[in-house]
Chains A and B, each alone.
Chain A
Amino acid sequence: DAGVTQSPTHLIKTRGQQVTLRCSPKSGHDTVSWYQQALGQGPQFIFQYYEEEERQRGNFPDRFSGHQFPNYSSELNVNALLLGDSALYLCASSLDTINTEAFFGQGTRLTVV
């Protein structure tokens, strides 16, 4: 089991551009959550996908959107990038049951210049 895998590991974008980050959940997991971790801070919840729908959302603007595919993999899209979007983006997968563990990928380090 490869665990949660994210791609790419690093990327650099210019302010105003758009970016797509990808996540494959742990085998058997059906729920994917995305988190943003700014330097020196704890991860902040962006949103969660289950059954290809956004089920809940944190305090992030509409520039942040996502998608979940039938195989449970997920994408995070960010439009009109700002310098403040520079962060480590983490994907977490879990099972849609009560009292379940969430496993994280290694993250994608996004730098906006």
Chain B
Amino acid sequence: GEDVEQSLFLSVREGDSSVINCTYTDSSSTYLYWYKQEPGAGLQLLTYIFSNMDMKQDQRLTVLLNKKDKHLSLRIADTQTGDSAIYFCAEVFSGGYNKLIFGAGTRLAVHP
């Protein structure tokens, strides 16, 4: 099946860490993406992880992948007000050429 689920909303204090969670269904997905969308804008690729990895770190971003549970998370360290946006998890559908299946998005609100 094709389904990606995310919690809809997360509120954090500036300077704290944010953790956004995602579950997916296609166990054959080759890799998984995190995108960021600011109001009125398109999607900005933040990072991605190959399915044969457990963790990937990129500056303030850490991606954890649990293939057994089909669970993906994005941790943002030292969250800033500029990180306020909607974050989308997406899996590459194994049955097609780079067809992305997106979750509904998690709205991250960062407050002082």
- Which residues of A approach B to under 8 Å, CB–CB? 4, 6, 31, 33, 35, 40-45, 48, 50, 55-56, 58, 88, 90, 92, 94, 96, 98-107, 109
Contact = CB atoms under 8 A, between A and B. Distances in A.
Interface string B1-44: 00010000000000000000000000000110101000011111
A44 to B, nearest CB: 8
B98 A104 contact: no
Given A42-B88, A42-B104, A104 B35 contact: yes
Given A43-B43, A104-B43, A107-B42, A56 B99 contact: yes
Interface residues of B, number: 25
Given A98-B30, A99-B30, A101-B48, A106 B41 contact: yes
Nearest to A44: B102
B42 A99 contact: no
B97 A99 contact: no
Nearest to A4: B42
B45 interface: yes
A102 B98 contact: yes
B101 interface: yes
Given A4-B42, A48-B98, 9 more contacts: A35-B100, A90-B43, A92-B100, A96-B97, A101-B33, A102-B45, A102-B98, A104-B43, A106-B42
10 contacts: A41-B104, A42-B88, A45-B101, A48-B97, A92-B100, A98-B30, A99-B30, A99-B31, A102-B98, A103-B45
